Amino acid sequence: MYKGASERIALRFPQLTPADNQLCLLIRLGFSNAQIAACIAVSSSSVSQRKFRLKKRMIQAEEGLFADGETLEIVIRNI
């Protein structure tokens, strides 16, 4: 559906784990926290925690990434 999305994410953020990449792709597909939770067999609160940690890792890689108040979903969809 999004040709090359996983490669672009991996190139821009090489420090992300395979689980982080999977989460990015599910976010990019527009899945809600509940849908992501069902796909990866965790609770919705775990998905929220994973998103928080993912955002933290992305900020470590690119300090000004969320400076303008973008959400994780917006950033991932624009990669």
| pLDDT of amino acid 54 | 95
Q: What is the pTM of this model?
A: 0.87
Closest among 49, 52, 65, 50 to 13, alpha carbons compared: 65
| pLDDT of amino acid 2 | 64
pLDDT of 52 > 90? The answer is yes
pLDDT of 1 > 60? The answer is no
Within 10 angstroms of residue 36's Cβ, the number of other Cβ atoms is 21
